[in-house]
Amino acid sequence: MMKGVSERVKEKVLSLGFSHAGIAPAGPLEEEAVHLREWLARGYQASMAWMERSSREDPRRVLSGARSVIVTAMNYYTPVRHQEEAGVGKVSRYAWGEDYHRVVLRKLNELQAWVEKEFPGERALAYVDTGPLAEKALAVRAGIGWQGKHTNVITTDRGSWVFLGEVVTTLDIPQDVPALDHCGSCTLCIEACPTGAIVEPYVVDSARCLSYLTIEHRGPVNQPPAYEGWIYGCDICQDVCPWNEKFAQPSSEPAFQPRQGNVAPRLEEWEKMTEEGFREKFAGSPIRRAKWEGLLRNVRIVQAQQPGTAREV
């Protein structure tokens, strides 16, 4: 029996090493666009002006004639724990290994080429989260998972430890059933956030989020909140999620295995890192996103907040 288009596409996605595949229609995200505009109106994007791109409201604005969005997810979980001790910092789990943008985009480019070869005359365009797409909303529409109260996408079989990626295409593919919300009455992520950045269920004020402050924010941090040892990103809201506790599985992607020293970085060593040393150590790493000045600022803030390791901020 001849396989359908959707089945062929999904088989290809999984063969590339992705853990999930789903299909969303390439139409306007009207309800999601309303929520996005409200979020922007409240200034919760902080300095992330790229969140204001109107193409996020309709995938057809990035590819004329688009009919479908192939949404993928790749599991990146590694079963290693952060260290809770003085003189040691914490790096978000997603940044322990290689830069996922490179890893995921390489596979998505292969998927894009496959679509255009298998279906002559059709066009396709690959994106990771640097592209102007509302990828979380598309992941929900494609049945990959639901957007939790911490705003990360949660899958029923891997939790939220997944990287999303998309291929927008003119190929007409039967769409999947959107994912249902399974957060229920749970509010653990909201209660655990040390800065109160999850101002209400499903709404995050970026300016108060440790991930934003340690990665995207440029310049000094006036009156820094409690960093809880985080010098790059923050995993607290995901660490406390019951879906992660129950369903997290080790990733099969070698590139996501932790680099030496990234799981439990010694603050004193990282504080002494020169700009050249920063570029060399973090070549091909997501940590470069924070830039040398930003990482050094974060290290000094955490040192000032840890007993016995105080430094000037």
* Cβ contact 136:190 at 8 Å: no
Q: At how many degrees (to 10) do helices 5-15 and 100-118 cross? A: 150
CA angle 26, 75, 58 (to 5 degrees): 15
φ and ψ at residue 91, rounded to 5 degrees: -120, 135
Tokens of 8: 């062929």
Q: Which residues contact 249 (CB under 8 A, 6 or more apart)?
A: 75, 77, 157, 158
Tokens representing residue 238 in the block = 């995901």
Q: How far apart, in whole angstroms, are the C-alpha atoms of residue 23 and residue 16? A: 16
Q: How far is CA 252 from the centre of its chain?
A: 18
CA dist 159 and 60 (Å) reads 29
Q: Count Cα atoms within 13 angstroms, Cβ side, for 8.
A: 12
CB 57 within 8 A of CB 36: yes
DSSP string, 4-38: PHHHHHHHHHHHTT-SEEEEEE-S--HHHHHHHHH
Please identify which residue in the block is written with the tokens 């070698």.
254
The first and second tokens of residue 268, run together, are: 């004193």
Q: Which residue numbers are catalytic?
A: 129
Q: Which residues partner with 155 through β-bridges?
A: 159
CA distance 108 to 274: 35
